[in-house]
Amino acid sequence: MDQSGPVEIIPPENPKLGRGVKFIYENGTEVLHGGPSGVTFIGTEGEIFVNRGALSSKPEVIIKQDIAADGIHLYNTPGGSHAAHRQDWVKSIGTRKQPCCPVETGARTVAVCHLANIAYWHSEELNGKSLKWDPIKWEFVGNDLANTWQDYPYPRRKGYELPTS
């Protein structure tokens, strides 16, 4: 989903718990935010848990299977650490090839985090209603109020203003 993002964000029933936001992607994939960190993907054949430096599955055989060429692949750098990503980035500068995690992937990854925060912080205002998201335009669909939540209501410091056009 590196070139896309969720199309619907469902706020949690109890935002004070810090878990429960659900993301729905255009292909029907659902991701539920929960736990202290990482993400769990639940499918028809088991579960995959991914966190910085950790990858496991139930049953264990899932992560040991080869993935078809047209299947979903996870980015993997040796060690899975910040240092490995930095090393890969520096290497990509020299080779002029894309790093394992290009800027677009990073931007879309952090956008999902921001969407989760918006769902938690504005859960009461949403009153149980989901947010529709356009991952191409990077905006909420049919919700002008939610679109105001994407920026701060006060001016930025000189030199850090956003473009006006």
As for how many domains the chain has, the answer is 1
- Quick: pLDDT tens for 73-88: 555 544 556 677 788 8
121 domain residue, yes or no:
yes
pLDDT, tens only, 36-76: 667 777 788 888 888 877 888 899 998 888 777 776 655 55
pLDDT of res. 126:
92
Return the pLDDT at 54: 81
Whether omega for the bond prior to residue 59 falls within 30 degrees of 0, making it cis, is yes
Q: What is the predicted pLDDT for the residue at 74?
A: 54
pLDDT of residue 81: 61
21, part of any domain: yes
pLDDT tens digits, one per residue of 107-126: 998 999 999 999 999 999 99
pLDDT at 145: 93
Residue 124 lies in a domain: yes
Q: What pLDDT was estimated at residue 89? A: 86
Q: Give 40-101 as a 3 state SS string.
A: EEEECCEEEEEECCEEEEECHHHHHCCCCCCCCCCCCCHHHCHHHHHHHHHHHHHHCCCCCC
**Domain span holding position 12:** 6-148
In the predicted model, is pLDDT for residue 94 greater than 90? yes
Please count the CA atoms within 13 angstroms of the CA of 93 that sit on its side-chain side. 5
In a domain, 48, yes or no: yes
pTM: predicted TM-score of the whole model, two decimal places = 0.75
